[in-house]
A and B are shown apart, each in its own frame.
Chain A
């Protein structure tokens, strides 16, 4: 299996620009998660989906952030407009169900720098 695939791996953008991060979950997984990692806050959950439907978006920092999952094999996390404080590593993860015994697998992350 190819694992969770994220793109781009690295992005540098100017403040005010729109940023779109993409994720392809592991085939057959019905849960998809977006996490953000910073030095100050560590790894924190932003939002997760079940069967393409957002279940909990309480971790999304503000209205500038939005996430969609148009189908079972693709999700996007968009930041518009971007700000320097959005600089972080964004991880996508997926799992089959959320039973405690089912493992959540992570992608390699998208490194975002907003200047």
Chain B
């Protein structure tokens, strides 16, 4: 699986968009970019995933650069309940390998 790099922490004002970056320069052609989040004391929660195209669901949007070396998770209107650790992962035909993620604090 691709190694990913994320900032250790970010702040966001409630009601504003939260843009979480992720670098995955070693991602291979068949690997998807996945985002999960973990709210304290809960299990990792799936947010969104994509291969090449930008994706949007009810939770967030995922913007993947054309060269696929980086991506951005966008929470359009962050709320206090979005405070969590956000994990960006590259996944091929294997399991998920978690890094340290980004601690997003919404206040």
Q: Which residues of A line the B interface, CB within 8 A?
A: 4, 33, 42-45, 48, 56, 91, 93, 98-101, 103-109, 111
- What would 26 A/B residue contacts be, using CB atoms closer than 8 Å? A4-B43, A33-B95, A33-B96, A45-B97, A48-B95, A56-B95, A91-B43, A93-B44, A98-B93, A98-B94, A100-B31, A100-B91, A100-B93, A101-B32, A101-B49, A101-B51, A103-B46, A104-B46, A104-B96, A106-B36, A106-B43, A106-B45, A107-B43, A108-B43, A109-B41, A111-B41
Residues in A with CB closer than 8 Å to B69 are none
A100 to B41 Cα, complex, angstroms? 27
Q: Using a CB-CB cutoff of 8 Å, which residues 28-56 of chain B contact chain A? A: 30-32, 34, 36, 41-46, 49, 51
A7 to chain B, nearest CB (A): 13
A106 to B36 Cα, complex, angstroms? 10
A70 to B34 Cα, complex, angstroms? 30
Q: Which residues of B line the A interface, CB within 8 A?
A: 30-32, 34, 36, 41-46, 49, 51, 91-100
Q: What number of A-B contacts does a CB cutoff of 8 Å give?
A: 52
A93 to B45 Cα, complex, angstroms? 11
Q: Give the 8 A-B CB pairs with smallest separation, nearest first.
A: A106-B43, A43-B98, A100-B32, A106-B44, A108-B43, A109-B43, A103-B46, A100-B92
Nearest CB in chain A to that of B93: its residue: A98
